Amino acid sequence: MLQLVLQNDWSKEVVEGLRKPDTPLTHETAIYVLRKLAKHPEKAYSFLDWGIRESDLTPSSPLYSTMLRMILVQQRPMERFRTTLTDMKQGGFCLDEETYKTIYTLLNRESYKDAKALARFYNDNAMSVVADNVSASVSKQDWGCEVERELQGMKLPLSDHNFVIRVLEGLKEHPLKALSFLRWVGGCYKHSTVTYNAALRVLARPSSVAEFWSVVDEMKEAGDGAEGIDGKLESHVPGKLEKQVSRARGRFRHLHKSIKTVSDV
């Protein structure tokens, strides 16, 4: 799928190739392709537009966030940036904290007006407000059945990965509660590498090393271990743990290659 988009100008032929049943478009695949198209913003925009409007792909905050962070801002096609931000606002999607800070820092150097609009979008977004309220509520209580009943009664958009990420980020000073929230959400919806990595960033501290590795093991069991750990994660963790994360990624990559070799025989 990636090679088809990379090697050709966007056309009806490319679209027909993407529609083939042997190339199903999943949420994870879409994010992977977008990241690989970082140097080709127009192709990336066409791919995302096709994925949302013509395929069975459900739009999500991580998809839009990836587009903004990896492509639009890097290449500076501001019209595309504004259009995508408008689409996010109309669809009720939000930005995670890390993406917001990265984009805002870049915009603030060159376009105060756009930076201000981004800040307003981030702070006023209804989903973000709800996520922040959830984080604040969970942080003040011991996790238990009462907290779970309270969350269940709130009818939260748990299927939106960026909502989950925003809550986890809001619990970064309470890593064990963040893990409890992650586990609770996992009882209703399947986690992705995006949400797993958000949890790892919160857990990557000396006080929650065991919990950190429990999530890594869970990623392995879910099939995300080999390439699932975000390459940028090392920058979020201290000292010895940073080296451990780097070694773990290497082991998972080696394991992934070994499994692939056996399956190809």
Q: What are the domain boundaries of the chain?
A: 1-124
Q: What is the pLDDT of residues 153-180, one digit of tens each?
A: 888 888 888 889 889 999 999 999 999 9
Tell me how far apart the alpha carbons of residues 139 and 203 are, in angstroms, rounded to a whole number. 15
Contact 106, 115 (CB under 8 A): no
Q: What is the pTM of this model?
A: 0.57
Report residue 247's pLDDT band, with 50, 70 and 90 as the boundaries: low
Structure tokens at 253: 């990559």
Look over the chain and give the mean of its residue pLDDT values, rounded to a whole number.
79
Structure tokens at 94: 């939000």
Tell me how far apart the alpha carbons of residues 187 and 54 are, in angstroms, rounded to a whole number. 31
Q: Which of 138-152, 191-205, 206-220 has the highest mean pLDDT?
A: 138-152
pLDDT at 252: 46
Distances (CA, A) of 106 to 73, 103, 138: 8, 5, 33
Q: What is the pLDDT of residues 79-113, one digit of tens each?
A: 778 888 888 888 778 787 778 888 888 888 877 78
Share of the chain above pLDDT 70, in %: 80
pLDDT at 229: 55
Q: Give the number of residues written for the chain.
A: 265
Report residue 28's pLDDT band, with 50, 70 and 90 as the boundaries: confident
- In the chain, how many H helices and how many E strands? 17, 0
Contact 255, 225 (CB under 8 A): yes
- The answer, yes or no, to whether residue 120 has pLDDT greater than 60, is yes
Residue 96 three-state SS: coil
